[in-house]
Amino acid sequence: MKRHFILLVCLFAAAMPLRAVDPGTAIEATVVAKGSLPGLVRAGKGIVEIPCQVAQCLRLPLGIVQMVFSPLPGVEFMEGLENTGKGVVAPFKLCMATLEMPYEVFGGLGDSVTGLAK
């Protein structure tokens, strides 16, 4: 996996046209990029949280089915109860993640553009 990433970066670097950049601009760009990393990470986490919570919502019907079919061998009532509990809480977490996402994305990207991330 790491080799594929390095190969991909090398291919993109080889395809880009070369231009001269003065050292001051290069140093300033490096400082801004280094300072923007926490904002971009926060934006990425905000975007990924929504599909994760949608998937957790599917545990409610799974848990109900497990509890109904618990007399059958291989299906446990306690697993169904656990999945039902997590499935009941998941829509509320999804709502909170949806409401927090604009701040996470735009706040994170704003910090990355301005370079004011701490």
* Residues of the domain holding 72: 35-113
Q: Looking at the domain assignment, is residue 4 inside a domain? A: no
Q: Looking at the domain assignment, is residue 76 inside a domain? A: yes
Domain count, the chain: 1
Q: Which two tokens stand for residue 22?
A: 């003065």
Q: Looking at the domain assignment, is residue 10 inside a domain? A: no
Residue 58 is predicted with a pLDDT of 93
Phi, psi of 41 (to 5 degrees): -65, -45
Q: Looking at the domain assignment, is residue 65 inside a domain? A: yes
Q: Looking at the domain assignment, is residue 53 inside a domain? A: yes
Q: Looking at the domain assignment, is residue 22 inside a domain? A: no
Residue 96 is predicted with a pLDDT of 92
Q: Looking at the domain assignment, is residue 98 inside a domain? A: yes
pLDDT tens track of the chain, all 118 residues?
666 667 666 666 666 666 766 777 777 777 766 766 777 777 778 788 889 999 999 999 999 999 999 888 888 899 999 999 999 999 999 999 888 887 776 765 555 556 555 5
Report yes or no: 85 and 64 within 8 Å, Cβ to Cβ.
no
Cβ-based neighbour number of residue 73 at 10 Å: 4
Global pTM exceeds 0.85:
no
